């Protein structure tokens, strides 16, 4: 039900999803929901990397590593 509600909100004419797509934004919100550790901004980066099969380079040692390759500085 929540997923349907989020998709409906994102499909409204007065809501714009810039360069990510509705599916990626919904995925991001699902990734951060209930985690108490992943911000919406990080979840958008994470979901975009998953969707585009891209690695992530970050200084955040706690950035999620699930389904994506994360490069950390030495």
Sorted by where each begins, the domain ranges of the chain are: 2-71
Q: How far apart are CA 3 and CA 26, in angstroms?
A: 7
Alpha helix locations (H) across the chain? 2-10, 22-32, 40-52
Each residue's pLDDT tens digit, 48-69: 999 999 999 998 888 888 899 9
Global pTM reads 0.75
Query: Using the 8-state DSSP alphabet, how is residue 25 labeled?
Result: H
Question: What's residue 3's pLDDT?
Answer: 66
Q: 34 or 39, which is more confident?
A: 39
At residue 47 the predicted structure's pLDDT band, cuts being 50, 70 and 90, is very high
């Amino acid at each position: 039900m929540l997923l349907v509600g989020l998709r409906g909100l994102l499909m409204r004419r007065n809501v714009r999803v810039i360069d990510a797509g509705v599916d990626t934004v919904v995925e991001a919100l699902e990734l951060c929901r209930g985690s108490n550790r992943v911000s919406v901004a990080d979840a958008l980066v994470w979901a975009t990397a998953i969707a585009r099969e891209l690695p992530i380079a970050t200084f955040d040692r706690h950035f999620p590593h699930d389904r994506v390759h994360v490069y950390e500085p030495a």
